[in-house]
Structure 1
Amino acid sequence: MNIKALEQEYLQNLNEFYDADEAKAIFNLSVTSILKITQSKLLTQKNKALSVEELNALTEVLNHLKTGKPIQQVLGETVFYGLTFKINEHVLIPRPETEELVDWILREVKNLKKSFLDVGTGSGCIPVTVKKHLPNLDVSALDISANALKVAEANAKFNKTEINFIEADILNYPDNKKYDVIVSNPPYIRQLEKADMHKNVLAYEPHAALFVSDENPLIFYDAISDFALKNLNPNGYLFFEINEYLWAETLQILIDKRFKNIELKKDMQGKDRMILARTNP
């Protein structure tokens, strides 16, 4: 079988979960990862016959994908902001919106040489990327999940970054350390929003990192804001990735707690997805 024929098999088998463009992108990622070739080389080798070993490996990937398992988990890794991160069922798959948040952080705090904390770190994509680009920062990362922290620690080591990892629940974490930057992409999806989500996200990604109750959906924003008021240095930075449907309510939390210079930012799709706030001088 050649690559072109296998592509048709992928597209036919994945149409239950993805549209044609998504399925083609997943096929391309599968082939370039398994065959260790570039996208441009793939385009010129569609008629290349696959060896038995190559075909078996790509068929195994397809068999996993047919269950709805995300390609990043099947391959065990993904690329975030140009860096490779290991991924498994214990951590969220990093999203493009979070890359936009990291880009904003790097632009805002590029001249800082002090302390940084990521709350709810998951795979560690935020602190590892920030540390890689701003090596003078003292970077810490917190998560309640020991399994997630194992993945984050592996990613820090793989990307040659030194991160201080903390296993703790931010809803009950009495930390006296002072930080210059606190960042969080906490759980923010309400139960009522599940119906609009892709079924493979619901089946394969950790619900504790995704969902909050309909009754108190901003519980983490409230708690992390209080933590920031106590633990941020003067003129400190607080960054959040937020639920696009709850931007006004999230903004109000920060206003009520008297943060300064609050800025709401849209992502590339025009959705209100990020907030920056500052503490008093």
Structure 2
Amino acid sequence: MTIKHYRDYFIQELTPLYDVGEAESFFYLTLEAKHQLKRVDLALQPDLDFSESELKIWSFILDQLKKEIPIQYILGVTNFYGLEFEVNSAVLIPRPETEELVDWIIQSSKVQSKFKILDIGTGSGCIAIALAKNLPNAQVFALDVSEQALTTAKKNAEKNQVQLSFIHQSILETEDLAQEFDIIVSNPPYVRELEKHEIKNNVLDNEPHLALFVEDNDALIFYRKIAQLAQKNLKLKGQLYFEINQYLGQETLNLLQEMGFKNYELRQDIYGNDRMIQCTI
């Protein structure tokens, strides 16, 4: 079967679950991951076809997508800030909004000489690794409560040829970080249980709930704890960066103001949602 004909079949099979644009994006992501072919290659060589063995692989991928398994988990990789990352069910799939947070830190830190960064709740390592790759003067530390997540982050650090210091630790049980940092950044769990109905099934049924959800009655538990540690372990004029729940921007700002942080800034993401905060000690 020609790849062009299979593409039409693939999209048609998925459109009951996904819109046409999303189904088409799955096709081209798979085509590049499995065959190193881009959309333009198919346009220039319309008679390319799949072998029987290749069609079996595509059939498996199609079945997985029909079960609403995220395409990134099926392929085992995703891109973030121009870098490739291994992803699996132990880690969240990196989001474009988090790229904006990383870019904010990079643009604000380029002129610094040697300095230390701590990424709390590193998951796949996407924030820590992107920072280490783009800020050669930084010594970057990556902390997570999950051993499986840290195993994945270590593989990603090797893949992207950066040196990180890894810490296996529960931040909620931490009283002191044992050293001082110039920057602390975190994208902690922030989705409230009451917001579960807004989450797509492919996220809800596959991505780690440990990294996603917090109790409704204490939605800012991680922000409060990390801010308390930042009071002890950020250097003078050190910076604290958070990715935040879009519905709790003002509440998160109020918390940081009450704790004595200064020079705070709340930014929206590309979708116009309150998404990230920076402040200083």
What is the letter of the counterpart of residue 33 of structure 1? A
Report if the CA contact (8 A) 2:80-2:126 is conserved: yes
Alignment of 1:1-281 (within 5 A): 1-112=1-112, 113-173=114-174, 174-279=176-281
Report if the CA contact (8 A) 2:69-2:206 is conserved: yes
Cα drift, residue 46 of structure 1: 4.1
Q: Secondary structure at the match of 1:215?
A: helix
Supply the distance in 2 between the matched residues of 1:24 and 1:12 (Cα, whole angstroms).
10
What is the letter of the counterpart of residue 32 of structure 2? T
Number of matched pairs = 279
Supply the distance in 2 between the matched residues of 1:143 and 1:37 (Cα, whole angstroms).
36
Supply the distance in 1 between the matched residues of 2:33 and 2:43 (Cα, whole angstroms).
14
What is the letter of the counterpart of residue 87 of structure 2? I
- Note the alpha carbon deviations across 1:12-43, whole angstroms, 9 max, x for none: 22224321111111111111111112332133
Judging changes above 3 Å, is the alpha-carbon distance between structure 1 residues 207 and 16 closer, same or farther for their aligned structure 2 residues?
Answer: farther
Question: Percent identity, aligned pairs only?
Answer: 47
Supply the distance in 1 between the matched residues of 2:8 and 2:39 (Cα, whole angstroms).
17
Supply the distance in 2 between the matched residues of 1:222 and 1:40 (Cα, whole angstroms).
49
Report if the CA contact (8 A) 1:35-1:54 is conserved: no
Cα drift, residue 109 of structure 1: 1.1
What is the letter of the counterpart of residue 75 of structure 1? L
Supply the distance in 2 between the matched residues of 1:17 and 1:241 (Cα, whole angstroms).
30
Report if the CA contact (8 A) 1:115-1:179 is conserved: yes
What is the letter of the counterpart of residue 272 of structure 1? D
- Structure 2 residue runs of 5 or longer lacking an equivalent are none
Q: Secondary structure at the match of 1:42?
A: helix
- Structure 1 residue runs of 5 or longer lacking an equivalent are none
Cα drift, residue 9 of structure 1: 2.2
Cα drift, residue 135 of structure 1: 1.8
What is the letter of the counterpart of residue 233 of structure 1? K
Supply the distance in 1 between the matched residues of 2:42 and 2:100 (Cα, whole angstroms).
28
What is the letter of the counterpart of residue 149 of structure 1? L
What is the letter of the counterpart of residue 223 of structure 1? K
- Note the alpha carbon deviations across 1:184-231, whole angstroms, 9 max, x for none: 000000011111111010111000100000111110001011111110
Report if the CA contact (8 A) 1:10-1:62 is conserved: yes
What is the root-mean-square deviation of aligned Cα atoms in Å?
Answer: 1.1
Supply the distance in 2 between the matched residues of 1:252 and 1:264 (Cα, whole angstroms).
11
Q: 4+ runs of 1 displaced by more than 4 Å? A: none
Supply the distance in 1 between the matched residues of 2:20 and 2:48 (Cα, whole angstroms).
22
Q: Secondary structure at the match of 1:204?
A: coil
